[in-house]
Amino acid sequence: MDDRVIIRFNHVTKQYDNDLPVLDDVSFEMERGKFYTLLGPSGCGKTTILRLIAGFIEPTKGDIYFHGKRMNNVPANKRQVNTVFQDYALFPHLNVFENVAFGLRIKKIGKEDIERKVKEALRFVNLEGYEQRAIHEMSGGQRQRVAIARAIVNEPDVLLLDEPLSALDLKLRTEMQYELRELQRRLGITFIFVTHDQEEALAMSDEIFVLNKGKIEQRGTPKDIYDEPVNRFVADFIGESNIITGTMIDDFVVEFANQQFACIDRGFAKNERVDIVIRPEDLELTTVERGKLRVRVDSVLFRGVHYELCCYDTYGNEWLVHSTKKADIGEEIGLHFEPEAIHVMKRSGGE
């Protein structure tokens, strides 16, 4: 077995009572020292995966391995894993120093060592000098850092972060994204980060797991997932895009909106029904004559860096376009795109 693998889920299912499974036969591996993100809509099972890794709950079926050893029945307090909770879960009756020192005190580490390690952990998260503060005197962003310091001071192999940035305002959130990524590089340990914000996932991760209804829809680098979503759900979730159904006429030829287009995809059956993705930023505004598609502008929004145009073709398909050029509502325009902009996906059932 590859000794870079630190966590392995082997056909893990988690089910409460007789409800539908919260996690359904999930298998994956995670490597040492990487930044992983679990991305998915609320209720898809992200927290459940973290709680399984942390040891707060046990799988109904399947096995969880840690450094190649089966961990199913090892209690949470015996695992080399620490968690940064969504609500931070700081101890309100202890000050900042004692919160961070909590884990070390339980391990009965010497007084001087505790002092040194806590100071160091607080320096890591830029909170030197805040040792004696009470928790209620700290701002949201500072509490966040205390929670991180409290976790990393125990030198875990894996740090679990459950939507740690969701309670912060936008500016602070962007700042913390950089800091977390930087922290992970400096510590060199595995981070498993949970979010439902796709931009955050794309910006921070080495690898993203896209989850839906207790299953992993796709795993890959941010670029893979953005450029090559495997199905409609992933394409839709990972960013604004135009998803329409079409037919694969032949290798490199696809038909949608009643026209045939050259594309770079192949390996589908002849005349197979497929889903087509074209990102709004890959559509270029042009004249009706020069455009590959002819659409009517329905609404225009100014988004700062670009205009967001919502257009309809004659077959009723909606086309979202990001363009630096403006168009008038009701105007007929042409849309141009390169063959590489067309991404063809297998149809997933149900969606």
Ligand X SMILES: Nc1ncnc2c1ncn2[C@@H]1O[C@H](COP(=O)(O)OP(=O)(O)O)[C@@H](O)[C@H]1O
Residue 238 interacts with other proteins (CB under 8 A): yes or no = no
Burial 133-164 (b: 16+ CB within 10 A, else e): bebeebeebbbbbbbbbbbbbbebbbbbbbbb
End-to-end alpha-carbon separation of the chain, Å? 37
Backbone dihedral region for residue 56 (phi beyond 0: left; psi -120 to 50: alpha; all else: beta) = alpha
Nearer to other proteins, 79 or 306 (CB): 79
Residue 163 CB, shortest distance to other proteins, in Å, is 12
**Site membership for ligand X, residue 8 (CB under 6 A):** no
Among 11, 16, 223, 318, binds ligand X (CB under 6 A): 16
Which of 85, 286, 300, 346 is the binder for other proteins (CB under 8 A)?
85
Q: Which of 42, 73, 77, 299 binds other proteins (CB under 8 A)?
A: 77
> Taking CB under 8 A as the rule, does residue 107 contact other proteins?
yes
Q: Which of 6, 7, 12, 22 binds ligand X (CB under 6 A)?
A: 22
Q: Is residue 81 near other proteins by the rule CB under 8 A? A: yes
SS3 250: strand
Transcribe 270-316 into DSSP letters. Answer: TTEEEEEEE-GGG-EEE-TTT-SEEEEEEEEEE-SSSEEEEEEETTS
Between the CA of residue 75 and those of 60, 81, 157, what are the distances in Å? 15, 11, 16
Q: Which of 42, 73, 299, 324 binds ligand X (CB under 6 A)?
A: 42
Counting residues that bind ligand X (by CB under 6 A) gives 10
Separation CA 152–CA 118 (nearest Å)? 10
Q: Which does 54 bind (CB under 5 to 8 A by kind): other proteins, ligand X, Mg ion, none?
A: other proteins
285, 279, 283: which is closest to 331 by C-alpha? 285
Which residue's C-beta sits nearest to ligand X? 47
Contact pattern for other proteins over residues 26 through 65, marking x by CB under 8 A: ----------------------------x-x---------
β-strand pairing of 253-256 with 259-262: antiparallel
Q: Where are the alpha helices (DSSP H) in the chain?
A: 46-54, 96-106, 111-124, 140-152, 170-187, 198-204, 222-227, 232-238
Site residues for other proteins, window 135-164 (CB under 8 A)? 136-137, 150-151, 154
In the complex, what is the shortest distance from the CB of residue 24 to other proteins, in angstroms, rounded to a whole number?
24
| 40-48, 64-72, 96-104, 286-294 -> range binding ligand X (CB under 6 A) | 40-48
Q: Which residues of this chain interact with other proteins, rule CB under 8 A?
A: 54, 56, 75-78, 81-83, 85-87, 89-94, 102-103, 106-107, 134, 136-137, 150-151, 154
Residues that bind Mg ion (CB under 5 A): 47
